[in-house]
Amino acid sequence: MRDDARAEGTNRPAIVAGLYLVGLLTGLPVLIGAVLALVWRGEAADWERSHYSYLLRTFGYGVLATIVGAILMVVLVGFLVMGAAWLWMLARSLASLVRALERRPMPEPRTLLV
C-alpha cells in the first residue's frame, strides 16, 4: 500500500539527496537532509528505505572524514582528506538522486562505495 500511496507523489529520497547536494556548498542543508531521512525512514516504502540507509551512511562517514580532515590540516594532509570526502559525498548524493528519480532502490545501501 505504501508503494502505491505515494507512487505519483513526493519523491522524498530525491529531496534528501538534493539537500545533500546543496549542503555541499553551504553546509546546513546536509544536516536537515539527514534529519528528514531519519524521520521519513519509518514510514518509507522498501525502495525509499534503501535510499535513506545509503544517505544516512553518507552523512555519518562524511562528517567523520571531515573531522579527520580538519584535524589533519595541521600537517596539510587534511586538505586532501577533506577534498576526497567532498567528492565522495558528491558522487554518492548524485548516485542516490539519479536512482530516486527513477524510483529504484539503491542496490547495496550498506556499502561505502559509490
What are the extents of the domains in the chain?
A: 2-62+93-101
> Could you report the per-residue pLDDT of 78-105, keeping only the tens digit for each?
999 999 999 999 999 999 999 999 999 9
**Considering the entire predicted model, what is its pTM?**
0.90
Question: What is the per-residue pLDDT for 1?
Answer: 41
Residue 23 clears pLDDT 60, i.e. is over it: yes
Question: What is the per-residue pLDDT for 8?
Answer: 63
CA 101 to chain centre: 14
Distance CA 72, CA 79 (A): 8
Distance CA 80, CA 4 (A): 45
Question: What is the per-residue pLDDT for 27?
Answer: 86
Mean local confidence (pLDDT), 29-49: 96
